[in-house]
């Protein structure tokens, strides 16, 4: 382990970035700065894991930090010294900002500054978080002077308590002591793991992005793969490699690689003897590379995946086009308020005043509790609360109930299909949206949605989608897509495409404060059943 040892100096509550108030430039605090710095160095100087001294954190910058920097350099010239608040121009051997954007660290990498950049904090891991981590590391790996960063932080600092029914929960600021005592809410719950060291979903993204071996597809058709060893000391011959080919969740081929002799920081091209695959219609084939411990490793079980990658093979065969005229016939009935579309074993009801689907009976069973609605909202995450998203984007929260139906258009495509087009207007955002339903004789319902705005500047959309509420007895699901843990458009590197199954409840993760969770990305299909 490489350790940055930081002096216990932080004055975030003293308005440290106001030059007239920062303690870092007040002479009467100089002794305290030096004493804390000296105590750290003298206590820890003989620990070889410590590779860098840090002067402190979030305290502003001034003469007191210059003095502590100079004292350490004369006392221990063997180690670099860093100071976050020194920025680009102060006394620091490492440029160590916090939460710099990707383009900002890339601009530094392309500058003439000879120092390394190590983010002293980034990827704030509070609640549902650690998005766009892969984007950071695509840039970091591209420049030798970008050397990574520190995720804030490792573990939720919460306390185990029980409610009146005996249910355990993680308590945080405001849950202890008398009501009204000042606290920082759940701001100490920002870990990759929970207080009992059980895993939060975002730790899987960190594991995948940080994996010490990278696989790159050079020519997937012929099985040509590049392997890069990012270890500093280990040869890859210390590990076991295997590769499999999967389709629709089933393994159709599995092979092992006897040995890969590859020294640290080097790359090697390997050639896989891919089997001949006769593609089935509408079927994808994936190659998965895995690196595992070799037999006899005393620290990891043999099935522990240290590094992996998934590649979609360039093998595909289109399916047969569906002939809608071969389907059973359907009929339509209309009153002033209700539109009914029905076939042999199904019945759909639309409310003509709201435009919404209100009932979908299939073989006598009601399939919906609440019909499809435009949904531009999601439960805010902790970091959303920190950047003001709930207030900034509040106009999108209730758009489905606030919008006014402007038009409903019913079109008989033929005897086997009907299309119902609905158009809505939302006054607050001067926006319009359309929801179109295509009903065919085999009881299939296809829904298309479109949304457009014009004329005024608007906040971002937290989500764009359709919300459909099913009866509670539909409690199990299966999906072909990314999993098994939750994934998002900016946090899906760690989720492989496969066939997964579970209960609806199992998709929920008990974050310390309830928030957005359980999302799935790149879903080919999903089935929800009783």
Active site residues: 58, 121
- Written as one string, the DSSP assignment of 325-349 is GGSPP-EEEE-SSEEEEE-SSEEEE
The tokens for 289 are: 């590379």
Sign of CA dihedral 209, 214, 219, 224: negative
Contact indicator for 96, 69 with CB cutoff of 8 Å? no
Q: Which residue has the tokens 């000042």?
A: 182
E strands, 107-197, where? 117-122, 146-151, 159-162, 168-171
Query: C-alpha angle 498/503/506, rounded to 5°?
Result: 85
Residue in 514, 404, 421, 400 with CA at minimum distance from that of residue 468: 400
Q: Is 374 left (phi over 0), alpha (psi -120 to 50) or beta?
A: beta
Number of C-beta neighbours around residue 212 at 10 A? 16
Contact indicator for 510, 200 with CB cutoff of 8 Å? no
User: Distance between alpha carbon 128 and the CA centroid of its chain, in Å?
Assistant: 8
Q: Which residue has the tokens 């990498």?
A: 109
Contact indicator for 377, 396 with CB cutoff of 8 Å? yes
Number of C-beta neighbours around residue 333 at 10 A? 11
Which CA distances in Å does 406 have to 355, 359, 422, 429?
9, 22, 8, 15
Residue 315: Cβ-neighbour burial (10 angstroms; 0-12, 13-18, 19+): middle
Contact indicator for 172, 512 with CB cutoff of 8 Å? yes
Contact indicator for 388, 459 with CB cutoff of 8 Å? no
For strands 50-54 and 3-6, give the pairing.
parallel
Cis peptide before 274, with omega less than 30 degrees from 0? no
The tokens for 120 are: 């002293």
Residues 6+ apart with CB under 8 A from 20: none
Number of C-beta neighbours around residue 481 at 10 A? 19
């Amino acid at each position: 382990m490489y350790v940055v040892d930081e002096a216990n100096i932080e004055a975030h509550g003293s308005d440290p970035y106001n030059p007239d108030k920062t303690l870092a430039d007040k002479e009467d605090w100089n002794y305290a700065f030096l004493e804390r710095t000296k105590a750290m160095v003298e206590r820890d100087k003989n620990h070889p894991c410590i590779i860098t001294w840090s002067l402190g954190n979030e305290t502003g910058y001034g003469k007191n930090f210059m003095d502590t920097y100079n004292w350490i350099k004369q006392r221990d010239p063997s180690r670099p010294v860093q100071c976050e608040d020194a920025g680009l121009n102060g006394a620091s051997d490492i440029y160590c900002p916090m939460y710099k954007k990707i383009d900002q660290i890339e601009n530094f990498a392309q500058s003439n500054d000879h120092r390394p950049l190590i983010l002293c904090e980034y990827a704030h891991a509070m609640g549902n978080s650690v998005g766009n981590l892969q984007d950071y590391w695509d840039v970091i790996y591209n420049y030798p002077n970008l050397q990574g960063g520190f995720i804030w932080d490792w573990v939720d600092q919460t306390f185990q308590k029980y409610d009146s029914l005996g249910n355990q929960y993680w308590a945080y600021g405001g849950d202890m002591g008398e009501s009204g005592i000042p606290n920082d809410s759940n701001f100490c719950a920002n870990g990759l793991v929970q207080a009992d060291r059980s895993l939060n979903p975002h730790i899987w993204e960190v594991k995948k992005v940080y994996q010490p071996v990278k696989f790159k597809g050079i020519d997937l058709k012929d099985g040509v793969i590049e392997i890069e060893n990012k270890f500093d000391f280990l040869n890859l011959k210390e590990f076991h490699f295997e590769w499999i080919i999967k389709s629709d969740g089933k393994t159709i081929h599995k092979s092992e690689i006897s040995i890969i002799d590859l020294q640290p920081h080097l790359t090697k091209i390997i050639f896989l003897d891919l089997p001949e695959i006769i593609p089935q219609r509408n079927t994808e084939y994936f190659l998965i590379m895995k690196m595992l411990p070799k037999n006899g490793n005393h620290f990891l079980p043999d099935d522990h995946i240290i590094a992996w990658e998934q590649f979609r093979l360039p093998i595909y065969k289109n399916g047969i086009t569906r002939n809608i005229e071969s389907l059973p016939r359907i009929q339509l009935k209309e009153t002033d308020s209700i539109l009914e579309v029905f076939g042999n074993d199904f019945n759909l009801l639309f409310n003509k005043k709201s435009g919404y689907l209100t009932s979908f009976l299939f073989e006598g069973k009601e399939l919906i509790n609440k019909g499809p609605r435009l949904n531009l909202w999601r439960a805010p995450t902790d970091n959303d609360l920190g950047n003001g998203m709930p207030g900034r984007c509040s106009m999108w929260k209730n758009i489905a109930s606030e919008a006014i139906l402007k038009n409903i258009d019913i079109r008989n495509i033929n005897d086997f299909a009907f299309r119902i087009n609905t158009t809505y207007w939302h006054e607050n955002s001067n926006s319009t949206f359309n929801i179109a339903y295509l009903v065919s004789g085999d009881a299939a319902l296809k829904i298309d949605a479109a949304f457009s705005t014009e004329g005024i500047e608007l906040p971002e959309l937290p989500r764009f989608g359709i919300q459909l509420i099913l009866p509670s007895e539909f409690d199990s699901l299966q999906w072909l897509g990314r999993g098994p843990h939750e994934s998002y458009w900016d946090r899906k590197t760690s989720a492989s495409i496969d066939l997964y199954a579970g209960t609806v409840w199992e998709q929920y993760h008990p974050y310390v404060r309830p928030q957005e969770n359980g999302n799935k990305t790149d879903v080919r299909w999903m089935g929800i059943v009783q």
